[in-house]
Amino acid sequence: MKQKQLSRRLSDIECICGFKSRKFTDVNALFSFLAGVLLFGAFYFPLSFFRGKHWAIDMFFHGGTENRSSIPYYTVFLGCWALAILLVKLQKLSVQKKALELDILPDDPNFVLTCATARTILGKISILVVHPEDFVLLDRIQRALMNLKNLGNVSAVAECLNTQAENDENYLSGSYTVLKGFIWAIPVLGFIGTVLGLAEAIGGFGAVVKKGVDPQGLIAALGNVTGGLSTAFETTLIALVMALIIQLLMTVVLNKEELFLDRCSDYCHRCIISKIKSIDLAGDED
């Protein structure tokens, strides 16, 4: 049965939307930013219809009688941007996994990988896939087989695959740098909003004390301070919950990518390196 030609540029969401796709599962910053804006709007638009009906909804908005800070807007936007990055990563990862389903080796169980058969496999890859270098697995195999075809160095193929596996792991880790920065920045924004609320509440109480009002007035002013404190701490609550959600989701996506890289390494050892070992065994018999 003829296999359908695989192309990342026809499956990757960034390419489909007309953006330049980053390497493997890395995400285009502009595309993720715009996707974050859409998620931000999708979050606030339905929420706006219930504004004023419950404090848990009102704390996401600023202004009003309680004079809330605008910090939650920035916090939620960073969370939506981070969520967009993770969703795009998941989609790109699903595209990368398609390479594992390709049948690039002959059906012969006695197949042996040599310089001549390496050319055959490379030719088959070029037929089955458009731009094989766009896929983690095929990029590894292509580099290793090119080494074998050009240099004829069998022992270097395994080393090339292992080195490329390490490079891919480092690249994967680096693609999470922005997300880790967001997870750090979101709680900081929450703390900033709380500090601003505290400063405003305490400043208002200090102004009342300076006026020298009666005890009943001080009690009323103190009540306003405690109410202002509860409002101020809402920004930290939003930020901490948002950071927790993003951290948990990032852990899930990172684990999926690590499992995928393990599957790629297993595929290379099972279908490439094991075929090279048969050459060594044949040489020992001679």
DSSP notation for the chain: -PPPPEEGGGT-HHHHTTPPPPSTT---HHHHHHHHHHHHHHHHHHHHTTTTS-HHHHTTS-BTTTTB-SHHHHHHHHHHHHHHHHHHHHHHHHHHHGGGG---S-S-TT----HHHHHHHHHHHHHHEESGGGSHHHHHHHHHHHHHHHH--SHHHHHHHHHHHHHHHHHHHHTTHHHHHHHHHHHHHHHHHHHHHHHHHHHHHHHHHHHT--HHHHHHHHHHHHHHHHHHHHHHHHHHHHHHHHHHHHHHHHHHHHHHHHHHHHHHIIIIIHHHHHHHHHHHH-
Per residue in 40-82, pLDDT tens? 999 999 998 888 787 778 788 865 445 567 888 999 999 999 9
Q: Supply the range of the domain harboring residue 28.
A: 6-285
Question: For residue 6, which amino acid is it?
Answer: L
Given this model, what pLDDT does residue 135 score?
Answer: 94
In a domain, 62, yes or no: yes
How many whole angstroms separate alpha carbon 86 and alpha carbon 81? 9
pLDDT above 70 for 137: yes
In a domain, 187, yes or no: yes
> Is 26 within 8 Å of 13 (Cβ atoms)?
no
> What's the length of the chain?
286
How many whole angstroms separate alpha carbon 107 and alpha carbon 148? 21
pLDDT above 90 for 231: no
- Cα 76 to Cα 26, 43, 72, 83, distances in angstroms: 23, 9, 6, 10
Given this model, what pLDDT does residue 57 score?
Answer: 82
How would residue 110 be classed by pLDDT, with cut points 50, 70 and 90?
confident
pLDDT above 60 for 208: no
As for how many domains the chain has, the answer is 1
In a domain, 87, yes or no: yes
In a domain, 112, yes or no: yes
pLDDT above 60 for 212: no
In a domain, 1, yes or no: no
Question: For residue 59, which amino acid is it?
Answer: M
- Cα 162 to Cα 101, 105, 145, 159, 165, distances in angstroms: 21, 20, 13, 5, 5
Per residue in 150-180, pLDDT tens? 666 667 788 888 888 999 999 999 999 999 9
66: phi then psi, degrees, rounded to nearest 5: -90, -5
Per residue in 240-270, pLDDT tens? 999 999 999 999 999 999 999 999 999 988 8
In a domain, 227, yes or no: yes
Which pTM was predicted? 0.84
